[in-house]
Structure 1
Amino acid sequence: MFQQIPLIDFGPFLNGTDEDRQRVSSQIGDACRNVGFFYISNHGVSSTLTERVYEQAKRYFSQSLEEKMKLYIGSCPCGNNRGYTPMFEEKLSLKGDLKEGFDLAMELPADDKDRIERGALLYGPNFWPDNLEGFRECIYDEYYLTMISLGHKVLEAFALSLNLPLNYFKSMSQKPMVTMRLLHYPPQPVVLDEDQLGCGAHTDYECFTLLSQSNQSGLQVRNNKGEWIHATPIENTFVVNIGDMMQRWTNDQFKSTVHRVINVSGTTRYSIPVFFGPDYFAEIKCLINDETPKYEPVIAGQYLTQRFDDTYNYRQKNSDSSY
């Protein structure tokens, strides 16, 4: 029945004592069990770096549709869900979402051993523009890899909050499926059709999401009463929310909460979500030893592939087994 999303100072977890880490992880555990969403401040990611990523996002989306479609996600050579998603490509809203995006993930070679020999088709190279100097370096080399490091720290906090060893998740996230998105929402000041929103009501697929929002409001989180609570942007914070994999992993202790985006700001909205999943072959099964499992075990990569298949137009249209 929450009416607001908690704000947690992550600084003491990163830089404090064991007692500090335990205290912060307890706060995070409470938020994961009761809300499924929280903000973190003092997370160690430079605001200057984040601002530079937004500038790169604006630079990318300001291009012509013809130029952006050269990297269409449906024509990505490896079929690993990287590249440009045009308006209405995603179908979290029934009629397609009012947003466009650019997707990237861990940079791996096309002949990656797990991909070629074991069928981990979500691994592989990214689909980069060749006309935007400095884009890849800022987006991937600086920001993406920084967010990977922060994500590992969040996993440590989750482990402590579940009374597990600090490094419990480390062995299962050595080659993590972490998707970063640059998102652009046009203004939607009036909702004329509930089936066509900026991003329809949904839960995230992976373990958790680290979201940077621009100053424009839009994200809304649904509480147990069915009320939509605004996740108002707070400067120099990330919104963290639990995804479906972590809800399964924790046997529903952590909540993957329904949320949506309606850009009612009257102006363009940008956001940068980073969806943190474990290794492709990590087994997601109940880690609460004294509870009866509510879900069958699943292989993380297979589960995520199916969720992508259910979401993207190009994957539904393409019958090639490599997708």
Structure 2
Amino acid sequence: MCEIPIVDIGPLFGDDEKARAKTDREIANAAFDIGFMVVKNYPSDIKVGSAERNKMLKLFDIPEDDQRPYWKRNFAPENPHLYRGWFPLSSSPTRGREGYEIGPDIVRTLPADQADDVLYEPTPLPDEKLLPESWAKTTAEYYLSAENIGEHILASISRSLGIDESIFRDAFNDGISTLRLLHYPSRDNVISNGSTRYVEHDGKTFEQVAGAHVDSGLLTLLATCGVGGLQARDTHGKWIDVPVIDDSFAVNFGGLLERWTGGKIKATLHRVLGQGEHRYSIPFFFEPRPSTEIAPLPIDGIEPFEPFLYGDHLWATTTKFPENFGLAELRPPRAPYTDPLAG
């Protein structure tokens, strides 16, 4: 493919089997080829539109002095929370982004028998006086709605792979999906001084506000909030723009899903180029229960690999990111684990 597929996912939520089968084929074509797509036309009762996103992003209007109680312990040693919460602009030397990570406790009670697992850490929610009215309710509805979309996409992929839909669906019972709010400050693009943060594209110099990477997990739903700059690398190695469409999601498949499906689904390198203006985005990382065993799926021809637990993989991966540096030893693997994506 030389451009990002745009898929109408409305039929996934309806009763027209012929229309659903067509959408299944389109999703499969994207997943098995470029590993990236833009989805649109979800039902109107799914609350993930611009009104909801704008209210959620008011979080970044909180003055810095009032933010500090919600910073992760890496950046405010007096705070107890490690995994959920705020990573401030000071979390990176370039001060290029800040973000706030929300877990499933925004919508449901966390399992009591997993209280010792940092991956089930509660989210430190800001004082309601600092936020617009009904901010938490709007955020909870968004979280549930993103889960709903992700579940339907994974069900579609299950049908195309010829596996039982329950394999993916059941893995998300007590799942730990992360809703992340991101803000990239406005900054002028400057001429590269040799830094790898700056790249040439179409004859112009851009700052990479998010460097080229493959998401480590399964599935990411990304709301780009009206500003371009997101690019994916196609099968020929060319960087192509991900189209910005109102109330749509950019969807990419992670390295773990590529591994789990024996390489049938492709995980795609993507990056974000600065556009010289404030940029906000809202990724939803669809993440199963930490105790989920990742083992070869019942797909013809899949190569065997040593099973491992999702939580062990997630922790080994997320503690390589700047906002979680130095935390790896706080959660030893719960089972034998080696990086399934290495090599």
Instruction: Give the structure-1-normalised TM-score.
Output: 0.87
Gap regions ≥5 residues in structure 2? 198-206, 333-343
Query: Could you say which residue in structure 2 is the equivalent of 1:239?
Result: 250
Greater Cα shift, 253-262 or 170-179:
170-179
Note closer, same or farther for the CA distance 1:47–1:175 as it changes in structure 2 (3 Å cut): closer
Q: Is the 8 A contact 1:203 1:257 kept in 2?
A: yes
Equivalent of 1:124, from 109, 121, 127? Answer: 121
TM alignment of 1:116-265, pairs within 5 A: 116=116, 120-130=117-127, 131-132=130-131, 133-140=133-140, 142-190=141-189, 192=192, 193-195=195-197, 197-264=208-275
TM alignment of 1:37-76, pairs within 5 A: 37-44=36-43, 49-74=48-73
SS across alignment from 2:250: strand
Q: CA deviation at 1:126?
A: 1.1
Give the whole-Å Cα distance in 2 for the aligned partners of 1:165 and 1:112: 29
Give the whole-Å Cα distance in 2 for the aligned partners of 1:148 and 1:255: 21
SS across alignment from 1:197: strand
Q: Is the 8 A contact 1:97 1:197 kept in 2?
A: no
Query: Could you say which residue in structure 1 is the equivalent of 2:322?
Result: 312
Q: Is the 8 A contact 1:10 1:42 kept in 2?
A: yes
Query: Could you say which residue in structure 1 is the equivalent of 2:336?
Result: none
Q: CA deviation at 1:55?
A: 2.3
Q: CA deviation at 1:77?
A: 3.0
The answer as to 2:285 corresponding to 1:275 is yes
Q: CA deviation at 1:312?
A: 2.8
Question: How many correspondences in the alignment?
Answer: 311
Q: CA deviation at 1:38?
A: 0.6
Q: CA deviation at 1:145?
A: 1.3
Give the whole-Å Cα distance in 1 for the aligned partners of 2:257 and 2:55: 31
Give the whole-Å Cα distance in 2 for the aligned partners of 1:89 and 1:199: 14
Q: Is the 8 A contact 2:48 2:146 kept in 1?
A: no
| 1:190 maps to amino acid | N
Q: Is the 8 A contact 2:261 2:302 kept in 1?
A: no
Give the whole-Å Cα distance in 2 for the aligned partners of 1:155 and 1:319: 30
| 1:86 maps to amino acid | P
SS across alignment from 2:330: coil
Q: CA deviation at 1:49?
A: 4.9
Q: CA deviation at 1:224?
A: 3.0
Q: CA deviation at 1:64?
A: 2.1
Q: Is the 8 A contact 2:50 2:247 kept in 1?
A: no
Equivalent of 2:104, from 99, 103, 106? Answer: 106
Give the whole-Å Cα distance in 2 for the aligned partners of 1:173 and 1:47: 19
Q: CA deviation at 1:175?
A: 1.4
Give the whole-Å Cα distance in 2 for the aligned partners of 1:214 and 1:225: 28
| 2:330 maps to amino acid | S
Q: CA deviation at 1:237?
A: 1.2
| 1:126 maps to amino acid | T
Query: Could you say which residue in structure 2 is the equivalent of 1:321?
Result: 330
| 2:100 maps to amino acid | F
Q: CA deviation at 1:311?
A: 0.8
Q: CA deviation at 1:148?
A: 1.3
SS across alignment from 1:279: coil
Instruction: Give the aligned CA root-mean-square deviation in angstroms.
Output: 2.4
Q: Is the 8 A contact 1:97 1:198 kept in 2?
A: no
Q: CA deviation at 1:111?
A: 7.1
Q: Is the 8 A contact 1:214 1:271 kept in 2?
A: yes
Query: Could you say which residue in structure 1 is the equivalent of 2:296?
Result: 286
Instruction: Give the structure-2-normalised TM-score.
Output: 0.82
Note closer, same or farther for the CA distance 1:89–1:293 as it changes in structure 2 (3 Å cut): farther
Query: Could you say which residue in structure 2 is the equivalent of 1:12?
Result: 11
Q: Is the 8 A contact 1:188 1:262 kept in 2?
A: no
Q: Is the 8 A contact 1:22 1:161 kept in 2?
A: no
Query: What is the CA deviation profile of residues 178-207 of structure 1, one whole-angstrom value per residue up to 9, with x for unaligned ones?
Result: 101111112345253333731111111221
| 1:298 maps to amino acid | F
Q: CA deviation at 1:166?
A: 3.3
Identity over aligned residues, as a percent? 28
Give the whole-Å Cα distance in 2 for the aligned partners of 1:49 and 1:289: 34
SS across alignment from 2:235: coil
| 2:91 maps to amino acid | E
Query: Could you say which residue in structure 1 is the equivalent of 2:338?
Result: none
Give the whole-Å Cα distance in 2 for the aligned partners of 1:320 and 1:18: 49
Q: CA deviation at 1:319?
A: 6.9
